């Protein structure tokens, strides 16, 4: 099948490359000429393990191409996916659908008869039908007699594991309202049937809600265990033991029960905010989701207090080494990362902050002014009064703690991801502070 993918951001690029690896003929289109030039040259503008090699393999096989011309991209396409950004709109928390509707309107001028228009962007309930109305209105303006179908196909990709998630998904959700759309979606995802991956079909509205509900539930699990961690600190419990104990219950599960500095990234913050606004718009407040948002925001500030306490109540004049600034390992994504709250607070408190991250510098240099960048953890910790482990990259999971302590002036270690055992850190000479322990 020939597929066009509008947007070469994280979702669009990963999806387009993976569809081509299924054997489909895929053209990814983007208005940014520099980005398309980079992709045509084999470069990848984001960091995602395995993506660059997969892209090169499918370009070489003739199954994947990149375009700036929308008309050329959709020519002959059976399905066109809209995978543009839906950031949080300033001022009200709603998802900004400007790019989605602009893509739909432009698409109306070039799609061919029978095309299935698939929204892959994360969008509020009712957006897919509005996409249909936008296309229909534009077709009426131009007098084009084109029949098209609608489908909703939300993504469930974890940054750092996106290719595995796409190729071996827990499920694929397809919202459709016609037999033709369902037939097309079944054909697109047919390769997954060989791996027994479930492909479920719902209404457009149900598909839209599933995406938001899934992310809100996972954000709730993270926030829940973070509050339990605070209780553990007060009463002498160990949150890692508690998480293991409740996670072994099959009704709960162990995933997303890792205490830390709060969630961030491209999905959870904006999707929880959007779901809360959707509820308010329908006079059905999402009270749990609203509380999750508030608790998570406060969580990041609480981590600042933890570092301040470790440094005797003030970081003024202290040297602090921060290990990791991306919101999670195996990505270069800085969006809503806890580091964007914690690091500026330390700098604002008078600390001299040295930062290291395997992939975070490209975005981090602009987002974290006033810090010094180091090549690795040991360079960052040179002469430091305290070390703050903020992102659990593999490089930071097996540090030589004695060596780390040896290059420092002080002995503080704030392990905000509970990577190390307190006894292990103490043996190396550290005053150790974890989360919920």
Catalytic site residues?
267
31 is in an annotated binding site: no
How far is 305 from 298, CA to CA, in rounded Å? 11
35 is in an annotated binding site: yes
Cβ atoms of 88 and 98 within 8 Å: the answer is no
How far is 346 from 315, CA to CA, in rounded Å? 7
94 is in an annotated binding site: no
328 is in an annotated binding site: yes
Q: Which residues pair with 25 in a beta bridge?
A: 2
157 is in an annotated binding site: yes
The number of angstroms, rounded, from the C-alpha of 106 to the middle of its chain's C-alpha atoms is: 27
How far is 27 from 29, CA to CA, in rounded Å? 6
256 is in an annotated binding site: yes
How far is 427 from 401, CA to CA, in rounded Å? 9
> Is residue 55 exposed (0-12), middle (13-18) or buried (19+ Cβ within 10 Å)?
buried
264 is in an annotated binding site: yes
Q: Tell which residue, 1, 28, 29, 9, has the closest CA to residue 335.
A: 9
How far is 135 from 145, CA to CA, in rounded Å? 12
Please report the beta strands in 273-335, taking only residues with DSSP state E, as ranges in sequence order. Answer: 319-323
259 is in an annotated binding site: yes
81 is in an annotated binding site: no
Cβ atoms of 88 and 51 within 8 Å: the answer is no
158 is in an annotated binding site: yes
159 is in an annotated binding site: yes
Distances (CA, A) of 256 to 13, 162, 215, 225, 263: 26, 17, 11, 8, 10
Annotated binding site for substrate: 156-159, 211, 256-260, 264, 328
Q: Which residues are annotated as a binding site for NAD(+)?
A: 30, 35, 86, 122, 159, 270, 335
Which residues define the annotated binding site? Answer: 30, 35, 86, 122, 156-159, 211, 256-260, 264, 270, 328, 335
């Amino acid at each position: 099948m020939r597929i066009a993918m509008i947007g070469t951001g994280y979702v669009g690029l990963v999806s387009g490359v993976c569809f081509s690896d299924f054997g489909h003929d895929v053209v990814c289109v983007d208005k940014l000429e520099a980005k398309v030039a980079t992709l045509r040259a084999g470069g990848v503008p984001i960091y995602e393990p395995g993506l660059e090699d997969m892209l090169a393999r499918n370009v070489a096989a003739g199954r994947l191409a990149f375009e700036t011309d929308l008309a050329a991209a959709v020519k002959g396409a059976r399905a066109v996916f809209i995978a543009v950004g839906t950031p949080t709109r300033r001022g009200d928390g709603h998802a900004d659908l400007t790019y989605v509707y602009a893509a739909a309107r432009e698409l109306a001028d070039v799609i061919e008869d029978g095309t299935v228009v698939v929204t892959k962007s994360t969008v509020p309930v009712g957006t897919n039908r509005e996409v249909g109305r936008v296309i229909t209105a534009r077709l009426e303006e131009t007098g084009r007699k084109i029949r098209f179908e609608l489908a909703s196909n939300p993504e469930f990709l974890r940054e750092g594991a996106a290719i595995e998630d796409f190729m071996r998904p827990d499920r694929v959700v397809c919202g459709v309202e016609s037999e033709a759309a369902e037939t097309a979606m079944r054909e697109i995802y047919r390769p997954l049937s060989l791996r027994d991956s479930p492909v479920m079909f719902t209404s457009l509205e149900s598909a839209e809600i599933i995406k938001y509900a899934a992310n809100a539930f996972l954000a709730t699990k993270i926030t829940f265990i973070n509050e339990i961690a605070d209780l553990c600190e007060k009463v002498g419990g160990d949150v890692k033991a508690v998480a293991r104990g409740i996670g072994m219950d099959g009704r709960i599960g162990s995933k997303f029960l890792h205490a830390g500095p709060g969630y961030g990234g491209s999905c959870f913050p904006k999707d929880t905010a959007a779901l809360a606004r959707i509820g308010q718009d329908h006079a059905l407040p999402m009270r749990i989701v609203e509380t999750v948002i508030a608790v998570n925001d406060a969580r990041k500030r609480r981590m600042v207090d933890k570092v301040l306490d470790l440094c005797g109540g003030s970081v003024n004049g202290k040297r602090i080494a921060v290990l990791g600034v991306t919101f999670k390992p195996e990505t270069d994504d800085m969006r809503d990362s806890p580091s964007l709250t914690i690091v500026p607070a330390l700098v604002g408190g008078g600390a001299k902050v040295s930062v290291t991250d395997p992939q975070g510098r490209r975005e981090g240099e602009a987002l974290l002014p006033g810090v010094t960048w180091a090549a690795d953890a040991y360079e960052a910790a040179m002469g430091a009064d305290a070390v703050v482990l903020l992102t659990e990259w593999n490089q930071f999971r097996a540090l030589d703690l004695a060596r780390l302590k040896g290059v420092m002036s002080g002995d503080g270690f704030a392990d905000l991801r509970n990577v190390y055992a307190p006894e292990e850190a103490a043996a190396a000479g550290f005053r150790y502070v974890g989360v919920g322990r």
